[in-house]
């Protein structure tokens, strides 16, 4: 099912992610109505921590494709690739659509289409410097309510 890209600037952060207590790094709990929405919200949480998304356009398109042996590993791989786009080319996404396919062996294939623009330091504000997406405390789970929850720890 193809999703329409949603602009993150109008997102209600409190409905999408919460910052959890951690003494040194950035630890987030992310929620979504289904697995693709969880991955989209995780991308939003990453970019929302990296930069003030106000003032960014959606003039540039990037696609990320990852494969991993499970849902949590796929989420980490997706976020790591998004962080690479930011670190290497200054790309900040303002919206995304994610599609997933889980194979019978548990392998998860993810494609994320991102819209945004390259940072212009004269117009945009950078926030948190994130160095890496870690495996520590990484969780993706379906809750009894049917919604999805993930925890992700970023090395800052």
Give the domain CATH number at 105.
Answer: 3.55.10.10
Q: Is residue 48 predicted with pLDDT exceeding 60?
A: yes
Q: Taking each helix axis as running N to C, give the angle between helix 35-50 and helix 71-89, from 0 to 180 degrees, rounded to the nearest 10.
A: 30
How does pLDDT run across 8-44, given as a tens digit for each residue? 655 678 789 999 998 889 999 999 999 999 999 999 9
In a domain, 135, yes or no: yes
In a domain, 128, yes or no: yes
Range of the domain at 40: 15-155
In a domain, 40, yes or no: yes
How many CA atoms lie less than 13 Å away from 127 in the CB half-sphere?
12
CA pair distance 152, 136, nearest whole angstrom: 8
For the chain, the domain total comes to 1
Closest CA to 26 of 46, 53, 43: 46
Distances (CA, A) of 27 to 54, 76, 117: 23, 13, 26
Per-residue model confidence (pLDDT) at position 5 = 60
Q: What is the mean predicted confidence (pLDDT) over 47-65? A: 94
How does pLDDT run across 63-107, given as a tens digit for each residue? 999 999 999 999 999 999 999 999 999 999 999 999 999 999 999
């Amino acid at each position: 099912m193809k999703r329409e890209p949603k602009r993150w600037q109008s997102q209600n952060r409190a409905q999408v992610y919460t910052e959890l207590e951690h003494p040194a790094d950035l630890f987030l709990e992310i929620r979504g109505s289904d697995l693709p929405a969880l991955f989209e919200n995780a991308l939003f949480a990453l970019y929302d921590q990296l930069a003030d998304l106000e003032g960014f356009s959606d003039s540039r398109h990037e696609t990320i494709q990852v494969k991993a042996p499970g849902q949590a590993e796929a989420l980490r791989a997706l976020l790591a690739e998004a962080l690479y786009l930011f670190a290497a080319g200054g790309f900040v996404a303002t919206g995304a659509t994610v599609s997933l396919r889980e194979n019978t062996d548990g392998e998860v294939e993810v494609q994320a289409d991102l819209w945004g623009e390259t940072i212009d330091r004269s117009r945009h504000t950078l926030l948190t410097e994130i160095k890496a997406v870690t495996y520590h405390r990484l969780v993706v789970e379906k809750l009894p309510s049917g919604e999805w929850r993930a925890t992700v720890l970023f090395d800052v």
